[in-house]
Structure 1
Amino acid sequence: MERNDFETESRTSYKRSHKKPKKRRGILRTSLLVFFILILCATGAGAYEFHKLSPSNHFDNLTAIGNPNGNYKQKSGVFNVLLIGSDARKGDSVGHTDSMILVHADLNKHKYYAMSIPRDTRIYLPGEGYTKLTSVQYISQINHGAKQGIIDTVKAVSNLTGVPINYYAETNYQGLESMVDAIGGIDMNVPFNVTLTHPWYKEDKNMTITAGTHELNGKMVTEIVHERDSVPGTDFGRQKLQSQALIAIAKKVMQPANITKLPALAQSMSKFLVATNMSTEDMVSIGLGVKSDFHPDKQIHYLQANGSSQVMFDDVLKADNDEFILDSNQLNTTVEKYFK
């Protein structure tokens, strides 16, 4: 869940990019799945001496990109990672953060807590004023480049939630489709009817996927998990679809028949990840921590940050805008219970 001089030309470009909400709001919100991609890559990297990378040793005395509570000491074998889904298309030099999911991984207890941070969350951005969280990456990229855009987004989410964040991983729509196809598709439980109102592929327009378990390829998974307008709770309904896709992927990868596919999957990591500060050793250590005792139905706990939508003045756009105001009491309670 972050320039003082913002040039007129950049501001005009920024406003123009926000005048097409239907396209922007239909962009990928599946960054939670990146966490499992990392696990897949780790499990397939067999050339390392695993005993030197046990999670309790490797994930110890970690530094944090964002750490609003500077004296907070994380336990060994525990880390926090921000999963980012960008709306930048191929060839774009800048993009908005369209999805932010904060994951707390406890490799000692084999528990993983994932909390979605709404992209429209209202924040204060130094030098700019109040705006949406999704704008931080875009503004920073314009002024400081792609990498700093990610760093500033991590810091903004850390300041918002009070959670020290050690790692980040960014994905996009093409990455999810490629990954699902690489494991031969998934059997996904769809909790409610989903009608594709803004599909990626025009031939899928107005297709309805009924509630129940379906055998899906990468294309259809990406169609389902970014649908918003037709599902209960809009963004919150979409988050439920993401969690079901994650569990389905976890189950499929852990099938014995798929173990032989993991090395090839690891070699294709660049198809799944746009950017990350996790090293190969980090990923291998994650794999060591999860592969011997991974039960996604019981161990992955999906959380949602609650709040309310309000029309408020956006200092960047210089106009009223729909923004999401987090319930600070609920957020603080969730963070204290599951992320610290």
Structure 2
Amino acid sequence: MKHFIKVFIISLIIFTLVIGTGIYTYAKYISPGDISDEIADSENPDFTGDEDMEFATPLERAMHNSNRVNVLLVGLEGTRTDTIMLASFDRKTKEADIISIPRDTYYLREGYGKYSDMQKINAVFGSEKDGHKALMKAVEDITGIPVDKYVTVEYDGVRAAVDAIGGVNFNVPFHMKYTDIYDKPPLYIDIPAGERVIYGDKAIELLRFRTGDPGYPSYPDGDLGRVKTQQEFVKAAIKKSLSLKLPSVINAVYPHVKTNFTLTELLGLTKDAIGFSTDKLSTYMLPGTPKYMGALSFFIPDGEKIIEFVYDLYDVPLTSNVEKDSLAEATE
């Protein structure tokens, strides 16, 4: 392809879905055989439900009639969800919104100690029989936003993708130095501060860094600072990926990506994403505050601010304090 079709962006960071969509576009137009034969021609894949449904609130109606596709983006290290994002792409306006969900976000589940590690959202995927489905439900419960699809990528896939695009230009905010000899394999992070090209291995170090060794700086706001750096790196990676041809990236990343998108859905979204640019990409942090409970640090979602965010996302006015209060209570 002389110019690759600008793909639907959302993945481990939006970047992942760029790769995911590209994989299926590549399969349709370049690779021969059974995969291409499976694809039906579909101009507008349907992510909506029954047209005759009744709705309890204006927000429910807006969600049902929306052109948005909401995708759970997960960065995996083994069975651990080290990065969790919810990406919402408006197929009509070609705007994308990414909500980062801190891995320490408190999500109460039965069968575990009230303030144990298992009550953090990053424990859901690896501890449930159907990890994808359980994590999608957890994100829906916390945000109130329906999750249509998921895309997961292993860290090896991120490493391969970054190398395939020739690295990413990025300004490292401070010297990141961290050692964990007990990790498997042992983890050594050492990235000097300043503007530099970040390649695959260093990209993984950058995305994983949170706390510095003694005598070296850490993020003053802990996991929140780490998430902000991840968002900035993703934006830089997307900007570069949109200027390149995809086949070499696809070949490198394909074994490490999993999604429940069908070929037809991805190809339809590819068409919708033509004209997308990083100027139409907005990133957010899940509203909330860090708090120690028991002996552990958790991130406590702010139900009221989340409701305000969701109403704004779907362009629905909050018409009364009663409605706002009742919805906030539902997220507690």
Whether TM-score is above 0.5 comes out as yes
Deviations 1:268-317 (A, max 9, x none): 443331x3211222222222222x31211x1111100132222325xxxx
Asked if residue 272 in structure 1 is aligned to residue 256 in structure 2, the reply is yes
1:297-336 aligned at under 5 Å gives the runs 298-313=279-294, 320-336=295-311
**Cα distance in 2 for residues equivalent to 1:289 and 1:331:** 28
1:309–1:325 CA contact under 8 A, matched in 2: yes
Question: Residue 239 of structure 1 is aligned with which of 224, 227, 231?
Answer: 227
Deviations 1:170-200 (A, max 9, x none): 112111000111122222344x224132489
Offset at 1:59? 3.6
Over 3 Å counting, the alpha-carbon distance change for 1:101 and 1:268 in structure 2 is same
Q: Which amino acid aligns with 1:251?
A: K
2:171–2:193 CA contact under 8 A, matched in 1: no
Q: Which amino acid aligns with 2:301?
A: L
Superposition RMSD on alpha carbons, in Å? 3.2
Offset at 1:245? 1.9
Question: Residue 180 of structure 1 is aligned with which of 138, 148, 162?
Answer: 162
TM-score normalised by length of structure 1: 0.71
Asked if residue 86 in structure 1 is aligned to residue 92 in structure 2, the reply is no
Alignment-derived partner of residue 7 in structure 1 = none
1:225–1:238 CA contact under 8 A, matched in 2: yes
Deviates more, 1:124-133 or 1:244-253: 124-133
Offset at 1:134? 1.9
Residue aligned with 1:74, SS:
helix
Asked if residue 282 in structure 1 is aligned to residue 271 in structure 2, the reply is no
1:20-99 aligned at under 5 Å gives the runs 30-47=12-29, 52-54=41-43, 57-61=44-48, 72=61, 73-75=63-65, 77-88=67-78, 95-99=79-83
Deviates more, 1:278-287 or 1:32-41: 32-41
Aligned residues: 278
**Cα distance in 1 for residues equivalent to 2:175 and 2:226:** 10
Gaps of at least 5 residues in structure 2 are 1-10, 30-35, 51-55, 212-217, 316-332
Alignment-derived partner of residue 313 in structure 2 = 338
**Cα distance in 1 for residues equivalent to 2:209 and 2:314:** 28
Offset at 1:30? 4.9
Offset at 1:104? 0.7
**Cα distance in 2 for residues equivalent to 1:217 and 1:128:** 40
Q: Which amino acid aligns with 2:122?
A: T
| Percent identity over paired residues | 24
Residue aligned with 2:64, SS:
coil
Gaps of at least 5 residues in structure 1 are 1-28, 89-94, 314-319
